[in-house]
Chains A and B, each alone.
Chain A
Amino acid sequence: MDKIREYLPFIIPLVIVEIILLVVTLHHIFTHENYKRGSRLLWVIVTIIGMEFIGPILYFVLGKEDE
């Protein structure tokens, strides 16, 4: 338990950032109909499986349609 407490200052901000990114990404996926590649289902799966940052970043780099 002490071990975890020692790392809390790292874990809490990382979790907050992760959740913000996840919410923004899912909001973006569900409010857009078309994507550069892939479908809505694919991107939701990628975002949730890779929610430790890599999934949402992949979506914004590869999947998001240019306006």
Chain B
Amino acid sequence: MKSLYAFTKKEIMDQLRSNKVLVLGIIFIIFGIMNPAIAKLTPWLFEKMSDSLAESGIQVGKITVDALMSWEQFFKNIPMGLIAFVLLESSIFTKEYQSGTLVLSLTKGLKRHNVVIAKTVVLVLLWTVCFWMCFGITYVYNDFYWDNSIADNLLFSSFCWWFFGIWVIMIMVLSSTILKNGSGVLLGTGGVVFAIYLISMIPKVDKYMETMLTTGYSLTTGASKISDYTVAVIVTLIVSVVFFVAGIIVFNKKRL
């Protein structure tokens, strides 16, 4: 337990020292500010474009902006945040395989499963902080300019997206334990997410797939109910746990 704590602390220090936390934090702060800013600018943009649109026969009516528009931007931008997160963190295991620093810690008595647990904890912690910081900034701006109460189930739909991120992290952990280099991890993670996305295009199957969690925006408009999401949440939870355990098992047998 003590070595797990120490190793987690070392991982956090590594993250801080390599400026990854700074870059990720700033990316998510920018997204948090940009969501309401884009919503706020929309009427102005349409005003600017209305002349050229009128020439092609499109009439622009009056546009009213509300908090939902800003939340729509939030759900559109969060995928980019997740991609940036995966890009920056894909080397969390592999850079240690290449430099061989893990062998040192392992020969000093650090249990192998503690390595996987510590790195996963750090990733989950970082994603949680970044995601909810972005959410919080957008929330405060929306409250300031408009009214958040028109968005239904806001916390649950955001929770779904956060949980989707956790699932992606678990894929990353599993592929990091199987593969040897960072680009392989990127390809593996992207490939699995893309495959699941393709499968979810089949009607009736989509309800059981993890990608269902990314459609949380329809919850805020009231187009879908929370009960539609329970299956997807349970499936994602089970799959995440399975990936995590599989990651530990693979890592225990891995030759470093």
Chain A contact residues: over half helix, strand or loop, or mixed? helix
**Any chain A CB within 8 A of the CB of B227?**
no
Q: Are B30 and A53 in contact (CB under 8 A)?
A: yes
Q: Are B144 and A24 in contact (CB under 8 A)?
A: no
Q: Which one of B18, B23, B40, B95 contacts A57 once the chains associate, using CB atoms below 8 Å? A: B23
Question: Which residue of chain A lies nearest to B27 when distances are taken between CB atoms in the complex?
Answer: A57
**Any chain A CB within 8 A of the CB of B107?**
no
**Any chain B CB within 8 A of the CB of A37?**
no
**Any chain B CB within 8 A of the CB of A2?**
no
Interface residues on A, range: 10 to 19
Chain B contact residues: over half helix, strand or loop, or mixed? helix
* A17 / chain B contacts, CB cutoff of 8 Å: 26, 29-30, 33
Question: Which residue of chain B lies nearest to A24 when distances are taken between CB atoms in the complex?
Answer: B22
Question: Which residue of chain A lies nearest to B30 when distances are taken between CB atoms in the complex?
Answer: A53
The answer for the CA separation of A7 and B44 in the assembled complex, in Å, is 12
**Any chain B CB within 8 A of the CB of A67?**
yes
* B87 / chain A contacts, CB cutoff of 8 Å: 61
**Chain A's nearest CB lies how many Å from the CB of B13?**
12
The answer for the CA separation of A21 and B22 in the assembled complex, in Å, is 8
Q: Are A61 and B88 in contact (CB under 8 A)?
A: yes
**Chain B's nearest CB lies how many Å from the CB of A14?**
6
* A57 / chain B contacts, CB cutoff of 8 Å: 23, 26-27
* A7 / chain B contacts, CB cutoff of 8 Å: 37, 40
* A64 / chain B contacts, CB cutoff of 8 Å: 18-19
* A28 / chain B contacts, CB cutoff of 8 Å: 19
* B29 / chain A contacts, CB cutoff of 8 Å: 13, 17
* B23 / chain A contacts, CB cutoff of 8 Å: 56-57, 60-61
**Chain A's nearest CB lies how many Å from the CB of B219?**
27
The answer for the CA separation of A30 and B181 in the assembled complex, in Å, is 30
Question: Which residue of chain A lies nearest to B38 when distances are taken between CB atoms in the complex?
Answer: A10
Question: Which residue of chain A lies nearest to B88 when distances are taken between CB atoms in the complex?
Answer: A61
Chain B 30-50, CB-CB to A under 8 Å as 1, else 0, gives 100100110010000000000
The answer for the CA separation of A61 and B23 in the assembled complex, in Å, is 9
Question: Which residue of chain A lies nearest to B137 when distances are taken between CB atoms in the complex?
Answer: A13
Q: Are A53 and B17 in contact (CB under 8 A)?
A: no
A-B contact list, 25 entries, CB within 8 Å: A6-B40, A9-B144, A10-B33, A10-B141, A13-B33, A14-B30, A14-B33, A17-B33, A21-B22, A21-B26, A24-B19, A28-B19, A53-B26, A53-B30, A56-B23, A57-B23, A57-B26, A57-B27, A60-B20, A60-B22, A60-B23, A61-B88, A64-B18, A67-B17, A67-B18
- Residues on B facing A (Cβ under 8 Å): 17-20, 22-23, 26-27, 29-30, 33, 36-37, 40, 87-88, 95, 141, 144
- Residues on A facing B (Cβ under 8 Å): 6-7, 9-10, 13-14, 17, 20-21, 24, 28, 53, 56-57, 60-61, 64, 66-67
